[in-house]
Amino acid sequence: MGGTSDASLLARRLHQDAVPAVFSYAGATRSPAVQPLPTRCGGFGGVPGLVQFIRAHGISHVVDASHPFAAQMSRNACAACAQTGTPLLALERPAWQPEAGDRWVTVPDMDAAARALPTAPARVFLAVGRKQLAAFSPLAQHRYLLRVVDMPEPGSLPVQGATVLVARGPFGAEGERALLTEHRIEWLVTKNAGGEATRGKLKAARALGLPVIMVQRPDLPARNSTDSVDRVMHWLAHEGVAGAMPSMP
């Protein structure tokens, strides 16, 4: 179950080692990155659909390498694997942690992020994707900068009058600083996705002294997890049948 740069790295390793696997995208992006594995796009139809897929295709192991904020997908994977007795391992990046010089405002969800913005008009970079913008629609006094992977249909965004950039990461700190400076950004709103591909905006905000509203990850059921592709490969080869945590020297 993909959707991250780590998932793409794992797909390449599985292909190189001739491990039979299927790569699944949620279908949120119109032109997802091409993978070296057989690929499917779209939902499964909830837990029953995923259970049926696992049984129909003889799936022996499931790796959840979806985005940290794809909470429903991860919850469905936990439930479907429990029902079918299929070993499940999450490949998830560690969450970002504040560093010296950061001005973070930590919030639990997107509604709280919107409430954390000032009431006075401000120039805001919403680095949250396009699916969770509705919380900001009542705050029409702000000037918003959005960055998305796919160009939205005209009138489809709940935030009106925003400047929209279409780009796909990774984004380095130098380029992010130039972007924030060019658009005179005063606030950054982002999700704590972790990883290096999009960390650049945090480094740029730190260098410019900008406040960052950091949305924390949703709660998920307890599950085995690792942040290492090597450990996933070891688990598949040696310990996946027992569903144990990867153990490596």
pLDDT tens, position by position, 63-88? 999 989 999 999 999 999 999 999 99
Q: What is the mean pLDDT of residues 92-105?
A: 95
Is the per-residue pLDDT at 244 higher than 60? no
Which stretch of 70-74, 154-158, 183-187 has the lowest confidence by average pLDDT?
154-158
**Are the folds of 5-93+221-242 and 103-215 the same?**
yes
Q: According to the model, what pLDDT value does residue 245 have?
A: 45
Where are the alpha helices (H) located in the chain, listed in sequence order?
5-16, 46-56, 71-84, 110-116, 173-182, 200-208, 229-234
C-alpha angle with apex 191: 196 to 32, nearest 5 degrees? 65
Is the per-residue pLDDT at 59 higher than 60? yes
Q: Write the class of the CATH domain 5-93+221-242.
A: alpha beta
Is the per-residue pLDDT at 29 higher than 70? no
What percent of the chain is modeled with pLDDT above 90? 77
SS3 state of residue 8: helix
Is the per-residue pLDDT at 224 higher than 90? yes
145 within 8 A of 126, measured Cβ to Cβ: yes
Q: According to the model, what pLDDT value does residue 195 have?
A: 86
User: How many Å apart are CA 11 and CA 14, to the nearest integer?
Assistant: 5
Q: Write down the mean pLDDT value for the chain.
A: 91
Q: In what order do the strands lie in the sheet with 62-64?
A: 62-64, 88-91, 225-226
C-alpha angle with apex 120: 119 to 124, nearest 5 degrees? 90
Torsion of CA 109, 114, 117, 123, to 10 degrees: 120
Better-predicted residue by pLDDT, 33 or 8: 8
Q: Is the CATH code 3.50.7.10 the one for domain 103-215?
A: no
Confidence of residue 148 (pLDDT cuts 50, 70, 90): confident
User: How many Å apart are CA 72 and CA 76, to the nearest integer?
Assistant: 6
Q: What is the mean pLDDT of residues 199-208?
A: 97
Place of tokens 């599950």: 223
187 within 8 A of 213, measured Cβ to Cβ: yes
Tokens at 41, concatenated: 């796009």
Is the per-residue pLDDT at 241 higher than 50? no
- Return the CA Rg of the chain: 19
Confidence of residue 28 (pLDDT cuts 50, 70, 90): low
Confidence of residue 223 (pLDDT cuts 50, 70, 90): very high
Instruction: Give domain limits for the chain.
Output: 5-93+221-242, 103-215
Q: Enumerate residues 6+ apart whose C-beta is below 8 A from 128.
A: 110, 113, 189, 190, 191, 215
Where are the alpha helices (H) located in 62-154, listed in sequence order?
71-84, 110-116
SS3 state of residue 164: strand
Q: In what order do the strands lie in the sheet with 123-127?
A: 103-107, 211-215, 187-191, 123-127, 143-148, 163-166
